Amino acid sequence: MVKKSLSNLEEASTTNNNHLSVQPYTRFTEFDISLFKSGKHFKLYEKFGSHVLENNGVIGTYFAVWAPNAHFVSVIGNFNHWDKGSHPLYIRWDGSGIWEGFIPNVGNGEAYKYFINSTTGEDLEKADPYALKSEEPPRTASIVWDNWYEWKDTEWMNKRHKNNALNQPMSVYEVHFGSWARGMESPDQFISYKDMAYKIVPYVKEMGFTHVEFMPLMEHPFYPSWGYQITGYFAASCRYGTPQELMYLIEEFHKNDIGVIMDWVPSHFPGDAHGLYHFDGSHLYEHADMKKGFHPDWKSYIFNYGRNEVRSFLISNAIFWLDRFHIDGLRVDAVASMLYLDYSRKEGEWIPNEFGGRENLEAISLLKEFNEAVYANFPDVQTIAEESTSFPGVSHPTYTGGLGFGQKWMMGWMNDTLDYFSEDPINRKYHHSELTFSTIYAFTENFMLPLSHDEVVHGKKSLIYKMPGDEWQQFANLRLLYSYMWTHPGTKLLFMGCEFAQTKEWNPSHSLDWHLLEYAPHQGIKRTVMALNKLYKEEPALYERSFDANGFEWLVNDDWENSVVVYARKGYHSKDDLIIALNLTPVPRTNYRFGVPKNGIYKEIFNSDGHDFWGSGIKNPDKKSEEIGSHWKSNSIEVNIPPLGMVIFKAL
């Protein structure tokens, strides 16, 4: 039955002389093929997919797809009425498994898929893995498109090496594009990339964030996946507009000195019929053994990191977003799930590596090569790992045995800090170590402190409602949490809505509750974040040594009875040093004495209890140190630390 079906297709294409409608053409050199097969080709987007070009004086589109287990591959679309037999591609003679050909008079905007008859007899209709644009879900076809854009962000690109450096401030605003705001006429209406540029760019600039991070904007069929179940790795989601409109948005951020980070998902992909799964009738992109190829948490499929062509696909995709979209950094999702073969699996549900261990050696190798390729081609960007375990050397260079990431999310800090702040202040003295423990390991990696979307969804409550006490105390606690975060070593990430104390959990199907900014407590939180971002960028001690133990010193870390901590942040020059004092109870700590590193006059430069922030307004005049020994220092000062407040002092 299958053979007869295939024979009919071949007969139809021959009878109609339609082989002539697909002309032999290639964009691959022998060197390209060699690199692809060895897993070393990192610009496959220049070769695979659909490309409008001129051939023998005729404008048309070149198509190329990898399907080594296919018996027959054709391009189907509106241009041929989705006729499976009319436009068959040519299989290359070199064993690469690549099918290709040039179809005249097909151009930008044409919807298409690949019809694949596999060697097992299956008939499949697949979207193009390298498509630059897709139909809007629930439709699933690819669209012939280009990503040409005349960029006007040269000034940013020339200075990006400084703005992205590890000794510079990095305060990241994490955004889910579809729910930051919705259309004015309908709550179900998405805002386009271009329209968003006029709304979000000035807002992020006003707030003082240095970078914005978008949850995945690659094409994904299921909106509630938040973008983490991707089918179109090279296609910007058409829910919000064209690739060029996304480029415009990125350009506008750059013109306003704001970097753009994109979430990237090399850990898994969905099993949609038009996607990568079972692509040519075989387990082409995923492992055949579901003990390695199926992800139990997300009911999705895991890339075969040991297959060279898959490695080229993934690293090419990372390079693509940095190259064509001028992305300034990639935050790599679910790294922990890649590193361990037994991740979320019970005994007997996973296969050990060749040495009997649980580490996924192929994934580790891929991540190292990914980072080496990214930094070799774009030394002025950042790669950031969402990695929740104690895997060593995530942000260490590969030549020292590390994975090569620029930074790693500090998940331990996030969990301990939220647990601590969720405690009633009367009990915090019994949990003091949860606040101080992070500095034991804070300098083992280049850490980013994340308060991300994962902490305000699925019944975890919003950040403001994690805080104990009455309304005043909840807002004071949240201001204190942010103040602690912004003065703790490491870069910062805050999820949208948290900057004005969104009260509801994040709902990806609704806009943020912007009306809350009509109320003073929420205005106070917003002003606090703005002030912290301003302080962060103005005070070198808060960023120059973020990943260096010499940039931090405990002055008081043992006053668990009063739930008070005091520490110093240090820059390259002692004149920039800051002293930070936190009172984690609602009881004001008046005339609190602690030792200071040097004699002098200390000025209060920040106070989270200010009236502008909806605080009680307890302040400190300039304080002259006294030759009174305290906390192993020969000089000390006596200050007032407001209830649930933080104060910062700087020597004049």
The residues annotated as belonging to the active site are 333, 386
| Rounded Cα gap, residues 323 and 336, in angstroms | 27
3-state secondary structure 174-231: EECHHHHCCCCCCCCCCCCHHHHHCCHHHHHHHHCCCEEEECCCEECCCHHHCCCCCC
Contacts of 433 (CB under 8 A, 6+ apart): none
- CB neighbours of residue 62 within 10 Å: 20
Query: Tokens standing for 261?
Result: 């980070």
Query: Tokens standing for 640?
Result: 């007032």
Instruction: List the beta bridge partners of residue 645.
Output: 583
Instruction: List the beta bridge partners of residue 214.
Output: 175, 262
For residue 566, give the 3-state DSSP assignment. Answer: strand
Cα 418-422-424 angle, rounded to 5 deg? 145
| Rounded Cα gap, residues 363 and 370, in angstroms | 10
Buried b (16+ CB within 10 A) or exposed e, 410-420: bbbbbebbbeb
Q: Pick the closest to residue 147 from 42, 243, 252, 241 (CA basis).
A: 243
Instruction: List the beta bridge partners of residue 50.
Output: 63
In 290-352, beta strands by DSSP E:
294-295, 300-301, 329-332
For residue 4, give the 3-state DSSP assignment. Answer: helix
Query: Tokens standing for 458?
Result: 């699925």
Contacts of 594 (CB under 8 A, 6+ apart): 555, 556, 566, 581, 630, 631, 636, 637, 639
Contacts of 4 (CB under 8 A, 6+ apart): none
Query: Tokens standing for 12?
Result: 């139809």
Cα 444-448-454 angle, rounded to 5 deg? 125
> What is the C-alpha radius of gyration for the chain, rounded to an integer number of angstroms?
28
- CB neighbours of residue 638 within 10 Å: 15
Pairing verdict, β 407-409 and 382-385: parallel
Q: How far is CA 189 from the centre of its chain?
A: 25
Q: What is the DSSP letter of 92?
A: P
| Rounded Cα gap, residues 382 and 237, in angstroms | 23
| C-alpha atoms less than 13 angstroms from C-alpha of 375 in its C-beta half-sphere | 19
| Rounded Cα gap, residues 255 and 249, in angstroms | 10
